[in-house]
Amino acid sequence: MLSASATSGLRDPAALPRLVLTVLALALLWPGLQLSELNLAMLLDGDNAATMGSFVGAFWPPEHGDEFLALLGRATLETLAIATAGMALAWLIAVPCALLATRVLSVSALARGGRPAWWAGALRWPVRLLLIVLRSIPEIVWALLFVRAVGLGPTAGVLAIAITYGGMLGKVYAEICESVDPRPARALLAAGSPRLAAFAYGVLPNAAAEMLSYTVYRWECAIRASVVMGFVGAGGLGQQIDLSMRMFAGGEVASMLLTFFALVLLADQLSRLLRNRLT
């Protein structure tokens, strides 16, 4: 009897689902490649390669005249300011929404093994829906909209980042809160603690590092996004790149790309520093 159960017990019950999922993923990916008309051979085509080559060739040497560097410095500061101000506003949107949307602080879930009552879940839905609406429209679309509304300049970029990133941060904060150990917060709620205090004492210590690192990463994304939005007139480095590209000033573009690299490197180091402090 023992040997019979031993052979039947050796078959990995997870093997079949894994195989099916792999096949399914491949079957879904293949039409995707076809639909997007990805054709790498086009890159190596004679004419295209020559055009790209001459454009990239103009990148060297990067422009480093005093006047240009001053301009670059001001544009970089503007980009950083757009990203930071946008993130600050996004954070103000995200934190209350995340607290409202997360299931961790559900008092009705306490006595129900962690599942909130149906009406509590229904109340969380509008908040989730709001977050979905905020982030489903790309920041570039918001930027175009705000450029119409408030005119050319950084304000449009700040507002666009605040809205889209508010939606993203809110969703991810809520999910980080749900992914950490829920028992400390539940124990506090069961001892009569207010929800916000239960969050601060029970969830935040476990979730803070993750939330912080995601916020810094989003800040890094906001820097890149503010550059893209510069192309539609929302100020900063993007606007400068747009101008330089139109003038085929490869050296200037190269300088600005190097500045990007430095900014992303800075964000990465900052994230690492903050994470080390918190863990």
Partner 1 sequence: MSVRLTGVGLTHANGRRALQEVDLSVGRGERLAIIGPSGAGKTTLLRLLATSLQPSAGRVELLGAEPWQLAAGARRRLRARLGLIHQSPPLPPRQRVVTAVLAGRLGQWPLWKGLLSLLHPLDPAGARDALARLDLADKLFERCDQLSGGQLQRVGIARVLYQQAELILADEPVSAMDPVLASHTLGVLSREAESRGVTLLASLHAVELALAHFPRIVGVRDGRIAFDLPAHSVTPQALDALYANEQLGQPSPASPAPAPQLVTIPRC
Contact residues toward partner 1 (CB under 8 A) are 107, 110-113, 181, 183-184, 186-194, 196-198, 200-202, 205-206, 278-279
4 vs 41 by CB, closer to partner 1: 4
* φ/ψ bin of 235: left (φ > 0), alpha (ψ from -120 to 50), beta (otherwise): left
201 vs 231 by CB, closer to partner 1: 201
246 vs 277 by CB, closer to partner 1: 277
For residue 193, the minimal CB distance to partner 1 (Å) is 4
Asked if 147 and 232 touch (Cβ cutoff 8 Å), the reply is yes
203 vs 227 by CB, closer to partner 1: 203
For residue 173, the minimal CB distance to partner 1 (Å) is 17
Closest to 145 in 3D by CA, of 156, 130, 133: 156
Asked if 240 and 44 touch (Cβ cutoff 8 Å), the reply is no
For residue 93, the minimal CB distance to partner 1 (Å) is 21
Residue 191 and residue 9: Cα distance in Å, rounded? 44
How large is the greatest C-alpha to C-alpha distance in the chain, in angstroms? 86
For residue 107, the minimal CB distance to partner 1 (Å) is 7
What's at 264, amino acid-wise?
Answer: V
For residue 91, the minimal CB distance to partner 1 (Å) is 18
36 vs 279 by CB, closer to partner 1: 279
Residue 228 and residue 260: Cα distance in Å, rounded? 12
CA distances from 158 to 2, 79, 132, 162, 211 (A): 68, 10, 19, 6, 21
